[in-house]
Structure 1
Amino acid sequence: MILEARDKPIIAMLEWIKVRLMTRMYSKKAVIEKFTSDICPNIVQKHEQLKFDSKSFSAVPSGCYIYEVDNEYERHVVNLTRKCCTCRVWDLTGIPCKHGVAAIYKNLERPKDYVHACYKNDAYVAAYKKMITPLPGQDEWVETNQPTCPCCSNCGRPPMKRKKYAVELNNPYKISKSYRPIKCGFCHKEGHNSRRCKAGITGETQ
């Protein structure tokens, strides 16, 4: 998102980021104020898909809020009290999986009541409740006696790409040159370059 602002001076870069965040927070706040559901809009769409996927499963009660959910291909155990399933999707996401949805409907309840609190409408509103305060132009800034920031001593154009961590993988769509065979530019044979080519060395001496 900030790739466009990386080559700007520090103040211009911060101003660019501030405007983008201010616009994003305002738009998110406006959307959630018009939304009437108890859970976030994205979770509502996921629930509709999970309802469709759960139609092929049958839930059989085994105990108090414990169900065995299966179809022709798989079988799982759902515990509605602990809000978990043996497929572990519910445990990892906080959203009832398709097996959990089948068990919840069998228990005559609503899946949205089993969604984690972080996906509720109240949490969404609280996340975008505060706003970023607008700032006046630089000509209206208050002058201070603080020393100015020293200029960067590095020459040349500032880098556009961010520095990657050691554990990050390289671009899978870019072919690496490290595994390519070395090919000589003089004799066009593989295994050496033109500097170590015997034919090139003998030709130069002659």
Structure 2
Amino acid sequence: MGETFNAFTINARSKHLLYMLEDIRTMLMQRWVKKRMEMEASTTIVCPNIQARLEKEKEKAAYCTPLLSNVNQYQVKDGLDKVKVDLAKRTCTCRKWDATGIPCYHVVAAIFDIHALVEDYVHPMYKREAYLRSYNYSIAPRPRERHWPKVEQPMIPPPIKIGPGRPRRKRRRDPHEDPKKSGKLTKHGLEVTYSICK
């Protein structure tokens, strides 16, 4: 399993904002190319991680007994449990195939019974073509800031927007300011001790 984005950017996050963003851009630029080249070199129908999950499901499917009920419907016996698999609707009683798009071992057992390829029943988003489409784009390289073009444009602040209504004349008071004495705070939050017993 690949590292998380948090772990991927851990060293860059300690830098100044501009250099942090530049480091992340460079890492992503390299990562996209690497992922695309790895998949182009691969000959599998589905992504490598999904293929590894399918292999585990295939091992479990050896302990199931599929019983044909209709053209595309099976009753799969798994120990003392029985589930219904519909290959046409792509559903299984355990709901794992419905939720993930990856056939569970009940479905794999049914697919083995019709001598079909399990990878054909995986959702299209996990296929090689979808993966390559995701990494089809690239991040353009950028020179260092000393090669950036010089701009002679002065920096002008944004225009001041005046809100509707009459402008406020009095200052905003602190929530704990004494309303009777202007500028004086109340004793809110102050610890008071009795002078005799402390």
Q: Quick one: distance in 2 between partners of 1:148 and 1:53? A: 67
Percent pairwise identity: 35
Would the alpha carbon gap of residues 46 and 146 (structure 1) be closer, same or farther in structure 2, given more than 3 Å must change? Answer: farther
Q: Quick one: distance in 2 between partners of 1:143 and 1:103? A: 67
> CA-atom RMSD, angstroms?
2.5
Q: Quick one: distance in 2 between partners of 1:146 and 1:4? A: 35
Amino acid at match of 1:19: T
- Within the candidate set 18, 35, 39, 1:11 is matched to 18
- Within the candidate set 61, 78, 82, 1:54 is matched to 61
TM-score normalised according to structure 2 size: 0.72
Q: Quick one: distance in 1 between partners of 2:156 and 2:67? A: 71
Shift of 1:5: 2.6
Shift of 1:118: 0.4
- Within the candidate set 51, 72, 78, 1:71 is matched to 78
1:1-150 aligned at under 5 Å gives the runs 1=6, 2-144=9-151, 145=153, 147=155
Q: Quick one: distance in 2 between partners of 1:25 and 1:90? A: 29
Moved more, 123-132 or 70-79: 70-79
Q: Quick one: distance in 2 between partners of 1:18 and 1:108? A: 46
Would the alpha carbon gap of residues 48 and 148 (structure 1) be closer, same or farther in structure 2, given more than 3 Å must change? Answer: farther
Q: Quick one: distance in 1 between partners of 2:154 and 2:107? A: 60
Would the alpha carbon gap of residues 9 and 95 (structure 1) be closer, same or farther in structure 2, given more than 3 Å must change? Answer: same
Shift of 1:148: 8.7
Would the alpha carbon gap of residues 56 and 43 (structure 1) be closer, same or farther in structure 2, given more than 3 Å must change? Answer: same
Q: Quick one: distance in 1 between partners of 2:17 and 2:117? A: 50
Match in the other structure for 2:165: none
TM-score normalised according to structure 1 size: 0.69
Q: Quick one: distance in 1 between partners of 2:156 and 2:22? A: 18
Would the alpha carbon gap of residues 55 and 124 (structure 1) be closer, same or farther in structure 2, given more than 3 Å must change? Answer: same
Amino acid at match of 1:147: M
Amino acid at match of 2:140: T
Q: Which runs of 5+ in 2 are unaligned?
A: 1-5, 158-190
Q: Quick one: distance in 1 between partners of 2:137 and 2:98? A: 31
SS, match of residue 63 in structure 1: coil
Q: Quick one: distance in 2 between partners of 1:4 and 1:94? A: 35
Q: Quick one: distance in 1 between partners of 2:11 and 2:156? A: 26
Matched pairs, number: 157
Shift of 1:71: 2.4
